[in-house]
Amino acid sequence: MSPRTKNWLTAYVVSAVIFAALDVVWILLVANPQYQSQIGHLLAPKANLGGAVLFYVIFVAGMVHYGVRPNSPEATLRQRVTGAALFGFFTYATWALTGLSVLKDFPAVVALTDILWGAAACSIVTWATATLLRRRLSRPAVA
């Protein structure tokens, strides 16, 4: 396995673990109660596990690519976190604003909360990952 691939996979695994832990807390403490009270009538009786897993696999890949940037040693922590915040903002805005546009009775507060969460979560995960992998991220991966 090339050093570039190893860097990317290491950043992916670290980001995935941090995001999973952070998102579980978010879902239990904020999202689930808000969704139940605001859009409970739109929720399925149980979550689609396959869809959720696919979301996490794809979303973490985007966060690593646009935020952590494991093979860009010249990127500063600020650039990484900014890229992640923008990625989270745009991806969560896509979901939230689509819901606001096409779902009956979809509240703006849910859309706004989700958009802010996307930006914040990506920023936090990228900051934590980049901090934990500081030495690995600061040196060029020889291909």
Spans of all domains in the chain: 3-137
pLDDT class of 131 with cuts at 50, 70, 90: very high
Judged against a pLDDT cut of 70, whether residue 143 lies above it is answered with no
| R_g of the chain, CA atoms, integer Å | 17
Taking the C-alpha atoms of residue 20 and residue 25, their distance in angstroms, rounded to an integer, is: 9
Q: pLDDT digits over 106-116, tens only?
A: 999 999 999 99
pLDDT at 141: 66
Q: pLDDT digits over 65-98, tens only?
A: 999 999 999 999 999 999 999 999 999 999 999 9
Question: Is the pTM for the entire model greater than 0.85?
Answer: yes
